[in-house]
Each structure stands twice: as C-alpha cells, then as structure tokens.
Amino acid sequence: MKKATKDQLTPKEEELMQFLWTYGPISISKLLDLYPDPRPHFNTLSTVMRRLEAKGFVDHNEAGGSFHYYATVPKENFRDKSFGHFIKNYFGGSYFGAVSALVEEEKISAEELKELLRLVERKGK
C-alpha cells in the first residue's frame, strides 16, 4: 500500500479533518465523544492529530490545560486538490472520463447530466 505524502492524507487523517472542518477547534477528549462505539483510543487520535500538525493541515491552541486543534487548510482547498489527484490517478486526468464512468455505472441520472450541461452553458456566457 502506498504511504501518504506530506500533501496527502490517510483515511484516518481525512476523517479527523472532516471533524475539524465541521466542529472547529476541538480537544481530543471532545473529539472522542463524537465517535460511536467502539471509540478509538485517546492516544491514537492524539498521534494522528500530531501527524496532521506536522504535515501543516492542523495547528492548536492551549486552553484550560488541553490542546484545541483546528484546521489550517480550508476544506475547499483540500477538496479541489484531492479531486484533481483523484481524476489524475484514476482517469488519466480526464474529467470527461470520470463523468463517463459515472454514466456507465449508472451513478448519475439523465436529469443530473442535463443540470450539469445547464451549469456549463451558464458559465460559458
């Protein structure tokens, strides 16, 4: 399995980023409360958070004797970059290929495609 680079996130790191984007600055203890049972161990989340901090995706403030972590990268920036990597890696950089695959696998309806076409036409005006 390919190891994540400084610009990429592991699935567990992505999961924590989603929490940070949704809930804002949060302590590990409060983060644990958001998980269903069985919850991950405190030390596991703390380690993953430190990795995110080392990669530059997260920073923290100290408040009341605990660290409150927050995202330093806006979700939109990460989404755009991740989506670009996904298209490059799985569709040879072809956005048309990605949409074609959605059509082929019946993951997108004709009505949704028509709406996409309307969006493209509006952008072109």
pLDDT digits (tens, 9 = 90+) for 27-55: 999 999 999 999 999 999 999 999 999 99
Amino acid 31: pLDDT = 95
pTM equals: 0.69
Three-state secondary structure call for residue 58:
strand
CB-neighbour burial class of residue 71 (10 A; exposed 0-12, middle 13-18, buried 19+): buried
Report which of 71, 98, 56 is spatially closest to residue 15, judged by C-alpha positions.
71
Q: Cα angle vertex 68, ends 29, 4, to 5°?
A: 90
Q: What is the pLDDT of residues 65-102, one digit of tens each?
A: 889 999 999 998 878 777 888 888 888 989 888 888 88
